[in-house]
């Protein structure tokens, strides 16, 4: 049984059982998988309030660390907690504890993680080499500085006459016009490395993937299992397509004579799947011999042309998959790939060198101007909170232990968007152990696949898989899948769509009963409301890209661009609906 004792759900409240459990569960790490429209913010606010007004074990509001994803979310959270406290005071006007909480609310740690990092750095700046008078650079300023540092770095590299490795890298990744492509690669690698607790170690690890011993084969490559996994997915898809073709031969009017072709094709694909798990060389040899037989002729009037054409279409798609594998991965002998990887080692080492030098110069340029960016905030905070590293695991510093003693619980919203640096920070200020921890995480398991802002979704997915609904020997998992925004038709359509798209193999999670959206809003169901699915191709809408030029409004350009496209499409649909209504009436 769970170690959490949940009070009985009163009959006069509107909470669902899972919401009630999320409000009251305690004494261990808790992961709340909250679907869209499931009332997660209300649950989070009420959890905070219940801890503050508890008669058995009341705590002060500044003994909670509440981490939100945006400043707006933090402001809304603080406002809602304040309103709830005022209401509690109205019900119990003589409570000195509640009045104290209202006075503490502005000091409470309800903020983005970056704001918390800033608080840590301001308090313990003397433990780092940062100037206490630093300021956070705005996006335009930091981008201009990045570009300036990058240009200076590349000019210096061009100026070295004995810099053959750099010139080889330039030849490999740039055009005759400019070296923007290579500069963008350096920027991307730098940004991604900063999302790791130890950027330098991550870069060195990426370069080490190209180190091969003389007797190493392709099966010894660190990424070969991932590549074979992808090949397996493609072979499974080809097999599914051929099974569809075969099924069509068995229906009335189907191309029955071609069943022999499809069975033979399925045998070829099955053999490829079998040898794939043996060795790369075996798969290479086998795929060279793949030849699809000529389709049997169909004569007479015993078959329906449309059915035969559909079966042919499935078979052609399967053949195209196999042909693509042959051309993209198996057109060359395995030895040639090993030779390429050994030759690439020099390019990768040079690229890593550029990223590291860019990082050093960019850091120095920011320090000279007394600037920090958001990545700096995270790494300075992590430096302050880390005492020592034992067997690769960070131990809390004296500062981290102070925060552990201060915070009775740490609550994190939008946990699926957490990266590895942020996770390391959270671990250092929370109690050790998931079964006995004090970390409360809220996130959407379906959004975890998007990897917003260099997030590491496996942090969420790993806990979602590891935690259990009873919390025995692990953390506690609670699913909030009751949607209070949408009609049944919308939820049914969404569930149907994602049942086809998401699974462990591709989407990293099963869209099972726990993940599906359940109806919570009391919409009438007398009349059916059919739904529509609209797919928006951003690349085909140049207007959205032109509107983003020069934008600096506080949101990521890519996120705003998507919002603009969605808003434009919604506006078109609303205008169409209004126009049609006017025509009717």
3-state SS track over 81-112: HHHHHHHHHHHCCCCHHHHHHHHHHHHCEEEE
**How do residues 439-449 score in pLDDT, each as one tens digit?**
999 998 677 55
> Domain limits of the chain?
20-124+373-480, 138-195+341-368, 224-331, 488-520, 538-584
Residue 142 pLDDT greater than 90, yes or no = yes
Mean pLDDT of 355-381: 96
Mean pLDDT of 371-392: 92
Question: Who wins on pLDDT, 47 or 11?
Answer: 47
Q: From CA 37, how far away is CA 45, in angstroms rounded? A: 15
Predicted TM-score (pTM) of the model is 0.84
Residue 559 pLDDT greater than 70, yes or no = no
Options 3.90.1310.10, 3.40.50.300, 1.10.274.50, 3.40.50.261; CATH of 138-195+341-368? 1.10.274.50
Mean pLDDT of 319-340: 94
pLDDT of residue 232: 94
**How do residues 203-213 score in pLDDT, each as one tens digit?**
999 999 999 98
Domain 20-124+373-480 has CATH 3.40.50.300: yes
**β-pairing, 393-396 with 386-390?**
antiparallel
Q: Where do the H-state alpha helices sit in 195-251?
A: 199-208, 224-248
* 414: alpha, beta or left? (left if phi > 0; alpha if psi -120 to 50): left
pLDDT of residue 506: 65
**How do residues 70-126 score in pLDDT, each as one tens digit?**
899 899 999 989 998 999 899 888 889 989 998 999 889 999 999 999 999 999 999
Residue 499 pLDDT greater than 80, yes or no = yes
Q: What is the DSSP string of 100-151?
A: HHHHHGGGSEEEEHHHHHHHHHHHHGGGSS--TT-EEPPHHHHHHHHHHHHH
pLDDT band at 184 (very low <50, low <70, confident <90, very high): very high
């Amino acid at each position: 049984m769970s170690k959490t004792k949940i009070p009985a759900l009163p009959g006069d409240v509107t909470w669902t059982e899972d919401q009630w459990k999320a409000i009251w569960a305690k004494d261990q790490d808790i992961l709340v998988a909250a679907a869209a429209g499931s009332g997660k913010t209300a649950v989070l606010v009420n959890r905070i309030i219940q801890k503050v007004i508890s008669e058995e074990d009341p705590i002060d509001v500044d003994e909670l660390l509440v981490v939100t994803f945006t400043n707006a979310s933090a402001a809304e959270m603080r406002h809602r907690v304040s309103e709830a406290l005022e209401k509690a005071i109205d019900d119990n006007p003589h409570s000195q504890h509640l009045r104290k909480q209202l006075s503490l609310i502005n000091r409470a740690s309800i903020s983005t993680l970056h704001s918390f990092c800033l608080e840590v750095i301001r308090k313990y700046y003397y433990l780092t080499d940062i100037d206490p008078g630093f300021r956070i650079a705005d996006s335009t300023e930091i981008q201009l500085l990045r570009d300036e540092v990058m240009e200076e770095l590349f000019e210096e590299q061009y100026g070295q006459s004995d810099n053959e490795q750099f010139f080889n890298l330039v030849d490999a990744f740039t055009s005759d016009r400019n070296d923007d492509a290579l500069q963008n690669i350096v920027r991307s690698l730098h940004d991604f490395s900063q999302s790791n607790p130890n950027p330098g170690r991550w870069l060195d690890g990426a370069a080490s993937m190209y180190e091969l011993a003389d007797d190493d084969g392709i099966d010894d490559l660190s990424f070969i299992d991932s590549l074979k996994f992808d090949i397996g997915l493609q072979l499974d898809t080809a097999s599914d397509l051929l099974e569809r073709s075969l099924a069509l031969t068995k229906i009335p009017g189907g191309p029955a004579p071609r069943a022999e072709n499809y069975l033979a094709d399925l045998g070829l694909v099955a053999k490829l799947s079998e040898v794939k798990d043996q060795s790369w060389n075996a798969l290479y040899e086998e795929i060279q011999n793949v030849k699809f037989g000529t389709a049997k002729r169909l004569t007479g009037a015993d078959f329906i042309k449309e059915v035969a054409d559909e079966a042919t279409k499935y078979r052609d798609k399967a053949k195209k998959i196999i042909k693509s594998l042959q051309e993209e991965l198996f057109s060359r002998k395995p030895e040639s790939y090993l030779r390429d990887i050994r030759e690439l080692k020099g390019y990768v080492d040079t690229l890593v060198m550029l990223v590291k030098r860019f990082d050093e110069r960019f850091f120095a340029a920011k320090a000279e101007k007394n600037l920090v960016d958001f990545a700096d905030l995270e790494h300075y905070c992590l430096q302050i909170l880390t005492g020592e590293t034992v067997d690769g695991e960070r131990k809390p510093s004296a500062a981290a232990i102070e925060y552990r003693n201060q915070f009775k619980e740490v609550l994190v919203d939008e946990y699926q968007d957490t990266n590895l640096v942020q996770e390391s920070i959270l671990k250092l200020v929370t109690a050790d152990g998931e079964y006995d921890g004090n970390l409360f995480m809220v996130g959407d398991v379906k959004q975890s696949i998007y990897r917003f802002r260099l997030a590491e979704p496996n942090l969420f997915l790993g806990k979602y898989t590891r935690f259990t609904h009873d919390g025995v020997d692990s953390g506690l998992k609670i699913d909030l899948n009751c949607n209070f925004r949408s009609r049944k038709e919308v939820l049914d359509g969404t569930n149907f769509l994602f049942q086809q798209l998401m699974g462990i193999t591709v989407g990293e999670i099963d869209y099972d009963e726990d993940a599906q959206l359940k109806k919570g809003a009391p919409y009438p169901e007398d009349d059916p409301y059919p739904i529509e699915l609209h797919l928006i191709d951003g690349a085909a809408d140049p207007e959205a890209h032109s509107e983003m030029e020069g934008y600096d409004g506080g949101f990521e350009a890519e996120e705003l661009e998507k919002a603009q496209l969605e808003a434009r499409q919604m506006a078109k649909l609303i205008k169409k609906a209004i126009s049609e209504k006017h025509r009717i009436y």
